[in-house]
Amino acid sequence: MPKLPRWRRLLEESRRQALVAIDFYNRPGDRRSYSDFIVHLHLAWQDLLLASRMKDKCQIYYQEKRKYVKNPDGSRKTWELGCCLKEEYEENNPIRSNLEFFIGLRNRIEHNFEDCLLVATASEAHACIINYEAENIRRFGDEFTLGNDLKIPIFIHSLQPAEYDYMAEMRRGIPRATLNYITEFMTGLPGETSSDEKFSYRLALMPVKGPKTEADMALTFVNIHDLSEDEKLKLMGKEGSESSPRSFVTSFTVMSCCRK
């Protein structure tokens, strides 16, 4: 069997890191680790962009005065994720801003406050995973999708109104320095970036009632841009109160590292 090219081996490592990240996110209770999710997702994105540039024969090494910068072992020093982002995406691109947010958060996360941060930044984490999958397919093709290795978790999110109080309490538990970082980062973004689903991906959950047909799936995705204004109001629960257990806005990662 012929040896895979280096970019392909790096892509496979990227996909492995992404699956590990998703697994850490979706584990229940004490087995979950949001800090590990961020670390492995960082590596997944870095390897993805390096593999893409390598495949296209683009620069991936640091240089000074036309000479390669070397690591202590003598090997060439490869670009870090932040450098890749500056070359691949324009400033305030929502994909780039999302990843820059997690690069900064990575150095501030504390083990005792992981669950608090997960609650506060779940929609950004969700966007980061979806962006990864979209970029993975765009750059390398459908055959490299993560979808073949994942399935929807059985438990997605509590649908009880009491969850609002829990989420508010968890947010209050974030250390002040970290909360300041999140607030300052968000307020520093242009409105069109912070509201873009590629930066923060939020979903409205609503249980489906009525008889099930053979065509029904456990989870149906509805693009809000395809709905009329009346349909949007109904979907967002504007006919009732915001605390209605039948419909509310939340965020979650729909991909689980349970193997098919």
**Per-residue pLDDT tens digits for 201-212:** 887 666 667 677
pTM, 2 dp? 0.80
Residue 220 lies in a domain: no
| pLDDT (average), residues 211-230 | 70
Domain that holds residue 104: 6-59+86-199
How far apart are alpha carbons 104 and 192 in whole angstroms?
21
Alpha helices (H) in the chain, listed in sequence order: 6-26, 34-55, 81-88, 94-106, 114-140, 162-172, 176-187, 191-194, 229-235
Residue 27 lies in a domain: yes
What are the φ/ψ torsions at residue 126 (nearest 5 degrees)?
-60, -45
* CA 117 vs CA 75, 113, 171: distances in Å: 37, 6, 7
Residue 55 lies in a domain: yes
Residue 239 lies in a domain: no
**Per-residue pLDDT tens digits for 70-123:** 999 999 999 999 999 999 999 999 999 999 999 999 888 877 788 888 888 989
How far apart are alpha carbons 2 and 28 in whole angstroms?
41
Residue 215 lies in a domain: no
Residue 147 lies in a domain: yes
Residue 99 lies in a domain: yes
Number of domains observed in the structure of the chain:
1
Per the CB < 8 A criterion, the answer to whether 37 and 125 are in contact is yes
3-state DSSP helix/strand/coil % of the chain, to nearest 5:
55, 5, 40
Residue 216 lies in a domain: no
